[in-house]
A and B are shown apart, each in its own frame.
Chain A
Amino acid sequence: MISAKRLIEMAKKWQKMATGNRKRISYPRNQVDMHSSSAANKGHFVVYSVDHKRFVVPLKYLSMNIFKELLRWAEEEFGLPSNGPITLPCDGVFLDYVMSLVQERITEDVEKALITSMIACHHEASSSCSDHGLRQSKDPIIVYGF
C-alpha cells in the first residue's frame, strides 16, 4: 500500500513534469484502441484519455470520489459529451496511474491527496493537460509523462 505522503510526492513530481514541459514522450498510435465501437464487458463503462487511450472501467468505480471528480472535471473542461464516448481531461499515463492506485485499494487519504494534486494540475496546467489531445492533427500525439 502506498502511503499518502509517498503519493503526494509522486503526484507533485508528475505535476512538475506535466507543467514544466521538461520531458516529452510520444505515444504510438497503434497502441491506442481508437474509438472502438464495441461495447465494454458486462459491468463496465468506458472512458478515453485526451490522447485517445481507451479504459474499460468497472461500474462500481463510479461510486468513488476520484472518478466522480474526474467526470466533474471533464464536464468543466469539455462540457457533457453528446455524440460519443466520455473523454477525461488527462493523459493515458495519469489514468493508468489512477487505475493502478484504485486496484491497490486506495485509502481515503490517498484518494484525497490524488484529487488535490489533480485539481492543482487543473489550475496550473489545464491548457497543457487538455489542449493537445483534442487537436486533430497528423502529428504523433505528445503526452507528458514521468
Chain B
Amino acid sequence: MLSELMNFLRACFRPGSDGFARSGSDAGGRQDGLLWYKDSGQHLNGEFSMAVVQANNLLEDQSQIESGSLSSNESGPYGTFIGVYDGHGGPETSRFINDHLFHHLKRFTSEQQSMSVDVIRKALQATEEGFMSVVARQWSIAPQIAAVGSCCLVGVICNGTLYIANLGDSRAVLGRAVKATGEVLAMQLSTEHNASIESIRQELHSMHPDDPNIVVLKHNVWRVKGLIQVSRSIGDVYLKKAEFNREPLYAKFRLRDPIKRPILSSDPSISVHHLQPHDQFIIFASDGLWEHLSNQQAVDIVQNNPRSGSARKLVKAALQEAAKKREMRYSDLKKIDRGVRRHFHDDITVIVVYLDSNLMSRASTVKFPSISVRGGGVNLPHNTLAPCTTPT
C-alpha cells in the first residue's frame, strides 16, 4: 500500500526536466508576471508584435523571429523566419528546436543557394534527427526525455513567397483585405495534425490498418494510442522507435505491443503562398490561443487595434475567454502562478507579422540589419500566487 502510494506520488511529479540551458537573446522583450511581450519590432518586410503567457511550471512554448540573411553566409537570400514551438511533456524538445532549426535552415539555404520547400523539409528533418540523438545519449540516465515532444510551426517569407510548414496543432492565419468591402478576412494557412479532426483520425487508421485502437476517445478527447492529441511532432521518440518504448520509461508511456512502424509522424505539412498586396498580416500562434479564439475573431482583433501591442491584445482576449469558461474573473486568473495555472489555460504564444506591401517588393538581396527575438518566460522559484501582476 505504501509503495503503491509512493509510486503514484512519483508518477505525479515529473522528473527535473530542465536539462538544457536557455540561450535565448531576448532582445527588447519585457516581462510582467507570467506575461512576456515585445509590442513592436521591425522585420525585413514590415513590423511584428509578439507575446507569450506562461501557464506551465516550465514554459513549454518556445518561439522566435529571425529577419535578415536566411543563409549561413551574408549573401542572402534575405527574408523573415518565424517559429512557434509548442512543447509537451516538458520544455526540452521545443527548446532544442529553438536552438537548432534556424541554423539548419541557413545551412541548407547556403547549400542550395535559394529558399525552397526542400530546404525547409531538410531543416526539420535534421532537427528531428538531432533531437533523437540527444534522446539516445540521455536514455540511460534520463529515459523520460523520450516522452518529450513538440509541435512545430514555421513561416518563411522570402522573395514575396510565404512558406508555411507545420507539425502538430499550432496555426498560422492570414488576414487578407477584401477590396470591395474593406473587410479583412481570416484565411488559415497551416494544416493541423490533431486527432480531434476527423481526417486526421482517418489518416491514422489508414496508416495503421492492423490497429483498431490507434486512436481512442477518452473523456471526450481523441488521443493517439490514448496518449497524445497530435499525430505529428518533433520528438516523442517513444512513439516513433521501439527501442525507446521499453523500460525504464514510465509504464504509462509503454505500449503493450512493440512499435513496428512510427506511430507519430515527423513529416511536416508544407504549403507555399504567393503574397499579394492586400495580404495585411499573419498571426502565428500555439493552440493555447486557438482553443479560445476563432480565426476570424483573432483577425478582427488585430485589424481593429494598433499594430504595437496587437499580440498582447490577442493573449488578453484569450485569457478573458479562459476566465469566462472557468467561471472566474480575468483579474483573478492573472494572479494564479505558473504550474497551477495550467489547469486554467495553456501556455500561449502569439507572433503577429505585418506585411508592408512597399517592403514586400524589397529585393531579397537588400541588406538589412538582422534581428533575432525569442519569446521569454520565467524559470525562477515560485509561490502559487504570482508575485507581480499588474493589470494591463
**B8 near A119 (CB under 8 angstroms)?**
yes
Other-chain residue from B9, B324, B326 in contact with A86 (beta carbon distance below 8 A): B326
Residue B202 CB within 8 A of the other chain: no
CA distance A123 to B6 in the complex (A): 12
Q: A45-B327, A69-B12 are in contact. List 11 more A-B contacts (CB 8 A).
A: A39-B323, A40-B327, A71-B343, A72-B12, A78-B219, A79-B219, A79-B221, A86-B344, A116-B5, A123-B5, A134-B219
**A42 near B327 (CB under 8 angstroms)?**
no
**A68 near B8 (CB under 8 angstroms)?**
no
In the complex, which residues 62-94 of chain A have their Cβ closer than 8 Å to any Cβ of chain B?
A: 62-63, 68-69, 71-72, 74-86
**B218 near A79 (CB under 8 angstroms)?**
yes
Interchain nearest-CB distance for A120 vs B (Å): 7
In the complex, which residues 30-81 of chain A have their Cβ closer than 8 Å to any Cβ of chain B?
A: 36-40, 42-46, 59-60, 62-63, 68-69, 71-72, 74-81
In the complex, which residues 309-348 of chain B have their Cβ closer than 8 Å to any Cβ of chain A?
A: 323-329, 331-332, 335-337, 340, 342-344, 346
> Can you list, as one digit per residue, whether each of A95-119 has a CB less than 8 Å from chain B (1) or not (0)?
0000000000000000000001001
Which chain B positions have C-beta within 8 A of A76?
12
- Knowing A39-B327, A79-B218, A134-B219 are in contact, say whether A63-B384 is a contact too (CB < 8 A): yes
Which chain B positions have C-beta within 8 A of A78?
219
Size of interface on B: residues with Cβ below 8 Å to A? 30
Which chain A positions have C-beta within 8 A of B328?
39-40, 44-46
Which chain B positions have C-beta within 8 A of A37?
324, 327
Residues of B within 8 A of A (CB): 1, 4-5, 8-9, 12, 218-219, 221, 291, 323-329, 331-332, 335-337, 340, 342-344, 346, 383-385
Which chain B positions have C-beta within 8 A of A39?
323-324, 327-329
CA distance A116 to B221 in the complex (A): 29
Which chain B positions have C-beta within 8 A of A79?
218-219, 221
Which chain B positions have C-beta within 8 A of A116?
5
CA distance A75 to B221 in the complex (A): 13
- Knowing A59-B335, A63-B385 are in contact, say whether A85-B325 is a contact too (CB < 8 A): yes
Other-chain residue from B4, B12, B219, B384 in contact with A123 (beta carbon distance below 8 A): B4
Residue A16 CB within 8 A of the other chain: no
